[in-house]
Amino acid sequence: MPAQAHDDSSQLDTVHIEQLELDCIIGINPWERGARQRITIDIEINADLSAAGKSDAIEDTINYRTIAKAVTAEVEASNYSLVEALATRIADICLEDERAQSVEVSVRKPGAVRKAAGVGVVVRRNRLGK
């Protein structure tokens, strides 16, 4: 069986934001609703970044500072019960940039479960299934 030609332009690159630590109201228990908790967020946005690689121009890429500011504003002003809802909203923010094809968002609550370093969720969204 002949090998298919491989088109490198179809591969997606990734913009990472790792261990963004923010404080917010998150949780379903009464004690969680009255005090801000620290959460940790990891974001991977998949997009074709080849234009930025060639131009070396910020307008040709997904600006991670812009994403981090938007996520920070949303999280710090939020009042979610579930980390699933918060992670989904963060994914939606990331997909607002037309270049973003898919995103993976991890939200962790350190110390939320006794004897565990943290608990959380990972949501994966793409432009088609938004």
Q: What is the pLDDT of residues 85-108, one digit of tens each?
A: 999 999 999 999 999 999 999 999
- Total number of domains in the chain: 1
CATH number at residue 101: 3.30.1130.10
Q: Is residue 47 part of a domain?
A: yes
Q: Is residue 84 part of a domain?
A: yes
Q: Is residue 44 part of a domain?
A: yes
Q: Is residue 5 part of a domain?
A: no
Q: Is residue 32 part of a domain?
A: yes
Q: Is residue 49 part of a domain?
A: yes
What are the C-alpha distances in Å from 42 to residues 38, 80, 110?
14, 18, 13
Q: Is residue 1 part of a domain?
A: no
Given 54, 69, 109, 115, the catalytic residue: 109
The model scores a pTM over 0.75:
yes
Digit-coded pLDDT (tens) for 16-75: 999 999 999 999 989 888 899 999 999 999 999 999 999 999 999 999 999 999 999 999
Whether 109 is a known active-site residue: answer yes
Predicted confidence band of residue 4 (pLDDT cuts 50, 70, 90): very low
Which tops the pLDDT comparison, 110 or 9?
Answer: 110
- Structural domain including 111 reads 12-125
